[in-house]
Amino acid sequence: MTLEEKLYNWFGYSSFRPGQKEIIEEIEKGKDVFAMLATGGGKSILYQLPAFTHASGLTLVVSPLISLMENQVQELKANGLKRVTSITSTLTFSEKQERMARLQEWRLLYVSPEMLNAPTFLERLKAQPIHLLVVDEAHCVSQWGHDFRPDYLDIGEKRLQLGSPPCLALTATATPTVREDILKHLHMDSKRTSLFCHSMNRPNIGLFVEHVQGEEDKKSRLLDIHSHFRGPMMIYTMSRMVAEELAVWLEEQTTVRVAAYHGGMEAQERLMIQQQFINGSLDVICCTSAFGMGINKPDVRCIIHYHIPADLESFVQEIGRAGRDGERAASIVLKAPYDEDRPEGMIYHTYPPVETIKHLLMMYVEDNQTAEQLLAAWDEEEELYGRQIVYALKRMGWFDSDDQLYTANIERMAAHLSKWVEERIANRLQKLAVMKKWLYATTCRREMLVKEFNETAGQNSECCDVCGAEWPEVAVKKDLKVSEKGWRDRLQQLLGE
C-alpha cells in the first residue's frame, strides 16, 4: 500500500500537504527526524500515520500541555481511531493503572515530560517496545527545560533507557542555537538526523513597531488599531493584572467582545474563553504568554504587543498566530520608553538570589534531608527556586544513590550554583538584548528577524514600518458586538427579564 493509500484509508485525506510525505518516509525508514514546520502545517499527521499503519509497537508522544494531549486524543477518537490515549494527572490513580496495564493495546500514547520522568511509569514503559518517540513543541526543550520545566532536559536520557527508539522532534520556530540545543538534549546525532526546516517567515504578516510616550498613548493607539482591523485580535501583556484591566477598559470604550486570558484563571474558564475566541463569539483576547499554544484560528488579523516579550523566539511564536488563512495580517508592537527594561526585572526575579542558594544548602547540611523532603519545605512561591536548585545539584551529580546530598563542600557547591544562575541570567539578558536591537532597527525588520533564524526574507507581500509599509487593509466585518447585544437582549426577553 502506498503512503497516499494509507493516508486515505486511515485519515480520509486524499493527498499530503507539501513536505509531509518526505518526512513520513524518513520516519518509516527508522531515522531520527527534526522537523520545523509552520503551525497549522499538519505536524501531527507526521507521526499519527506511521503510528497506526505500522505493524506493531507504541508511538510515544511527549507534549507540553494536558489540554493539547486531550484535544488530540479526542480528535483521533472522533475519527474512529480508538487505540490512542493519554496518561496525565487529571486521571484517578485507578484510571492511570488501568491505562498502564493496557500499554500493549495503545498505538499512540501522549504524556508530559514530567510523567515520563516518574520512575514507576518509566519502568512499565520499558517492558513495551517503542516504535517512535515524538517530542512535540520541541522548542520547549530549550525554552522551558533549563529552568522552568527541567524534566524537559531528561527526555534524552529516558530515551536511552527505553532502548533508543527513533526520535521525531517537531516545532514551528527554533533559532539555529535552539535547534542544536534540542538535538543535543534529545541525544539526536546531528550527522544522522534528517533535518526538515521550512521557513519561519510569514510573508502575509506586516511588522510594525510604534514608539509611544506612555499608557495613554498606547490606549489611544489600541482604539485606532481596533477601528482599523475590526477582525479577531490578540493583545499580549506582561502581567495578568494588565491583561484583565485592558479587557475591562476595551469593553467600556468599544463595542468589541473581549475577554482576558492568563495562567491564573480557572482551567474551565480558560477553556471556555479559548473556544469562544476560536468559534468567533469573542473578538479580542487580552492575554499573557499563557495563551496561544494549540490555538489554530485561521482569521486572526492582528497581534498587538502591549508589552514586549523577552526574546525574539517568543515574539515569533506569538505573532505566528496571525493570518493562518494566508490573508493579510499585522503584528504591532506598542513600546513605551521604560518597556524595554521591564523583562529584565522578570529575568532576575526568576532565579534564586545567592543568599537563598546558600541558605538552602545549609538546610541540607543541618537536617540531612533528601531532595524531596527539602522541596516540601519550600512554600509555593519559592517552589520554582527550590526545584531549580535541586535539579542543578542533581545535574552536577551531588546526590548519592539514596538521594542524599554529598555535603562535603558547601562553599564550592554554592559557588557552582551561583555561577549556574549567573549563566542563565546572562543567557536570557543576551536574548533580551537582541529583542531590543530589533525594536530599534533602522533597516528592514523582516530581514533582521529572519537572519536570527539563518534565513533570507525573499518575496513578501507585507513588509515592515522601516520599509514604509502601512497597516494592511482588511475586509471590514459588521459590528459584531451590536448584534451580540441584540441577541442577548432577545434572550433576556425570552427568559422573562
Partner DNA sequence: CGACAGAACCGTAAGGTTCTGTCGGTGCGTTACT
The residues of the shown chain that bind DNA, judged by CB under 7 A, are 64-67, 87-93, 96-97, 101, 111-112, 114-115, 118, 120, 124, 143-144, 147-149, 214, 238-241, 262-264, 288-290, 310, 314, 336, 338, 341-342, 344-350, 383-384, 387
| C-beta of 2 vs 93, nearer to DNA | 93
CA atoms 74, 75, 80, 81: torsion sign:
negative
| C-beta of 109 vs 330, nearer to DNA | 109
| C-beta of 23 vs 308, nearer to DNA | 308
Output the smallest distance, CB 262 to DNA, in A: 4
Q: 1: helix, coil or strand? A: coil
Q: Do β-strands 329-335 and 58-62 pair in parallel, antiparallel, or remain unpaired?
A: unpaired
Q: Helix 410-439 and helix 445-452: axis angle, to 10°?
A: 150
Q: What residues are paired with 36 via a beta bridge?
A: 171, 197
Output the smallest distance, CB 17 to DNA, in A: 27
- Distances from the Cα of 223 to the Cα of 152, 229, 481, angstroms: 41, 10, 15
A 10 A CB-CB count for 495 gives 7
Output the smallest distance, CB 67 to DNA, in A: 6
Instruction: Single out the residue of 109, 115, 41 nearest to residue 81, CA to CA.
Output: 109
Termini Cα distance of the chain: 62
- Distances from the Cα of 143 to the Cα of 94, 150, 234, angstroms: 34, 10, 22
Contact by Cβ (8 Å): 271, 65: no
Output the smallest distance, CB 362 to DNA, in A: 22
Residue 127's Cβ-side half-sphere holds a number of Cα atoms within 13 Å equal to 9
- Distances from the Cα of 419 to the Cα of 14, 384, 454, 456, angstroms: 55, 18, 30, 37
Output the smallest distance, CB 492 to DNA, in A: 33
Q: Do β-strands 58-62 and 84-86 pair in parallel, antiparallel, or remain unpaired?
A: unpaired
| C-beta of 50 vs 64, nearer to DNA | 64
| Distance (Å, whole) CA 145 – CA 147 | 6
| C-beta of 50 vs 150, nearer to DNA | 150
Output the smallest distance, CB 418 to DNA, in A: 14
| C-beta of 166 vs 343, nearer to DNA | 343
| C-beta of 164 vs 275, nearer to DNA | 275
- As a dihedral over the C-alpha atoms of residue 297, residue 301, residue 306, residue 309, rounded to 10 degrees, the angle is 60
| C-beta of 11 vs 121, nearer to DNA | 121
Instruction: Single out the residue of 383, 393, 382 nearest to residue 417, CA to CA.
Output: 393
| Distance (Å, whole) CA 165 – CA 126 | 11
| C-beta of 191 vs 349, nearer to DNA | 349
Output the smallest distance, CB 140 to DNA, in A: 8
Output the smallest distance, CB 212 to DNA, in A: 12
Q: 101: helix, coil or strand? A: helix
| C-beta of 66 vs 467, nearer to DNA | 66
| C-beta of 59 vs 388, nearer to DNA | 388
Which H/E stretch holds residue 445? helix 445-452
DSSP string over 301-362: -EEEESS--SSHHHHHHHHTTS-TTSS-EEEEEEE-GGGGGHHHHHHHHHS--HHHHHHHHH
Output the smallest distance, CB 94 to DNA, in A: 8
Output the smallest distance, CB 142 to DNA, in A: 12
A 10 A CB-CB count for 210 gives 16
| C-beta of 262 vs 324, nearer to DNA | 262
Q: Helix 3-11 and helix 45-53: axis angle, to 10°?
A: 90
Output the smallest distance, CB 281 to DNA, in A: 22
Output the smallest distance, CB 426 to DNA, in A: 13
> What is the grid cell recorded at 180?
542544536
